[in-house]
Structure 1
Amino acid sequence: MNIPEKIPFLSILIFVTTLYGSYKGIVSNKFIDKYLLSSEGVLFRKQYYRIISSAFVHADWPHLIFNMASFALFAFDFEKEQGILKLLLVYFSSVIGGSIFGLINNQRNPDYQAVGASGGISGLVFASILSSSPFSIILYIPLAIEIPDWVYAYLFLSISYIGMQMKKGNIGHDAHLGGAIVGIIFITLLSYENVGQRYLLALGLSGFNILLICHYFYRKGFNGFDIGRIFKKIKERRISVRQEAIVLDLDKILDQVYKHGQESLSERDRRRLEEISKEI
């Protein structure tokens, strides 16, 4: 194997790009708002790039560190063993799968937003485990604990399910389950012989993942994916926000007129007052 084949170029590129994008997002709300996953952005504004771009921004430093540590733990070795093409297909298909699952899971919430590489990393974790010989993973919590890879996989799914129930912040916990099932499917198609050696684990993880998803939707009361209802809720929210902005602007202008007279209004205030009068 020559030197270039030993260097995980794509893994390094994804790692560095995610660090940079996340740093920009953490220090700038405007930046993160532009690239995060949101129901309004994807479904209403047709900004489909958010399905992938949300994987390159994170909510905070702990979120970023945890995800990048998980990425480094699996991605570099996976690319060296399976190649750049398989990493490309597994990672980004899992990102897309996780994002779509998040949108479906939160279709009743027009304000849904999520960030993070959870879907891609989840798919990568399961693809790595299923395409490799059995190995152990050392966890520092805080003492070093060595556990088999299959135990780690089941713990990963269980913790992700708990995170879905808690729903804290904009972290896309539900993307873990969506990304996991996509990762399992793609690595099975791409490395059938390797996965075939661990087919019992593949079947077990797939079944457990599907069971968690079904149980979650059963408790939640899932009635199908109604995109019309989503559009209606988003439109209602946008109208409500616009009406609030009109009230605030009108109050500000009238307050200025009351204190300083109509002559004190700027040209901009006069235009805004005229716009409001047409909308009321």
Structure 2
Amino acid sequence: MLTIILIAVTAAVSWMAFERPAVLQRLILWPPAIDKNKQFDRLLTHGFIHADWSHLLFNMITLYFFGRVVEYEMTRFIGPVGFVLFYLSAIVVAILPTYMQHRHDPRYSSLGASGGVSAVLFASILLDPWMWIMVPLPVPGFLYAIGYVAYSFWKDRQGGGNVNHSAHLSGAAYGVMFMLLMEPSVLQSFLVQMMNPRFL
């Protein structure tokens, strides 16, 4: 349920930003606004706006498929608020390396939920690497994760735009570390599952 709420809020804010450029300009991660104006909220708000509908759809489909698994498990260990805080903190943590790199660059900007979504995706893969999804053909979750990262690297190398594809890797690392710190036994379970493929 919380995953659906996060998707709904992100879609609503993104839609608002599509229609109102002033909203996008206030929420986007733009280093000078943080460095000079102390608008630190941009480290989080950039994760609720997107470049276009395809960017939004790509992130929200990924969050829908994998967020429910992570939400269920995290709620068992740290409660529903813990899951929401995990997702929100992932958005911030994933953008920090890029922000530090560009903090004095007024030409740089970034937006999108990619960092938080990537954290959820990789946390989910640790829990159930053989969860099959339709995209549109059936693909096991761990292969989807590999494709997600490969796509991110490809788009990042292409350059252009203000979608921070490099945040995917930071988000992925955060998702894995958070999950293992929360419940170390997840690693052993992951290895056992990888050794025992589960087909459709």
**Normalised TM-score (structure 2):** 0.85
Q: Does 1:132 align with 2:128?
A: yes
* Bigger CA radius of gyration: 1
Residue 120 (structure 1) aligns with: 116
Q: What residue number does 1:182 align with?
A: 174
Distance in 2 (CA, whole Å) between partners of 1:101 and 1:199 is 30
Structure 2: which amino acid aligns with 1:197? S
Larger RCO of the pair (alpha carbons < 8 Å, separation 6+): 2
Match of 1:153 among 127, 140, 145: 145
Distance in 2, Cα, partners of 1:128 & 1:85 = 18
Matches within 5 A, 1:1-280: 8=1, 10-83=2-75, 84-107=80-103, 109-132=105-128, 134-140=130-136, 144=137, 146-198=138-190
Distance 1:23 1:166 in 2: 26
1:112-160 C-alpha deviation (Å, 9 max, x unpaired): 11111000000000001102363223222xxx2x232222222222211
Residues 93, 182 of structure 1: 8 Å contact kept: no
Contact 2:118 2:171 in 1 (8 A): yes
- Displacement of 1:72 after TM fit? 1.0
CA shift, 1:110, in A, is 2.6
Q: CA deviation at 1:47?
A: 0.7
> Do the aligned partners of 1:86 and 1:190 also contact (CA within 8 Å) in 2?
no
Provide closer, same or farther for how the CA distance between residues 128 and 24 of structure 1 changes in structure 2, counting only shifts above 3 A: same
CA distance in structure 2 between the aligned counterparts of 1:98 and 1:200, rounded to whole angstroms: 29
Cα distance between partner residues in 2 of 1:94 and 1:199: 24
Q: Displacement of 1:65 after TM fit?
A: 1.3
d(CA) in 2 for partners of 1:78, 1:187: 9
- CA distance in 2 between partners of 1:152 and 1:89 (Å): 25
Greater shift, 64-73 or 150-159, is seen at 150-159
CA distance in 2, matches of 1:32, 1:127: 29
User: Normalising by structure 1, what TM-score?
Assistant: 0.62
Q: Distance in 1 between matches of 2:117 and 2:172?
A: 8
Structure 1 portions without partners, runs of 5+? 1-7, 203-280
Q: Which moved more, 1:192-201 or 1:25-34?
A: 192-201
- Asked if the contact 2:123–2:179 (Cα under 8 Å) also holds between the matched residues in 1, the reply is yes
* Distance (Å, rounded) in 2 between the aligned partners of 1:200 and 1:158: 25
Structure 1 letter corresponding to 2:25: D
The amino acid of 1:159's aligned partner reads: Y
Shift of 1:89: 3.6
> Which SS does the other structure have where 2:135 is aligned?
strand
The one-letter code matched in structure 2 to 1:35 is L
Change beyond 3 A, Cα 1:108–1:162: farther
Which amino acid in the other structure matches residue 68 of structure 2? Answer: F
What are the Cα deviations for residues 184-233 of structure 1, in whole angstroms up to 9, with x where unaligned? Answer: 1101111221233225999xxxxxxxxxxxxxxxxxxxxxxxxxxxxxxx
**Structure 2 residue ranges without an equivalent (≥5):** 195-200
Distance 2:160 2:193 in 1: 31
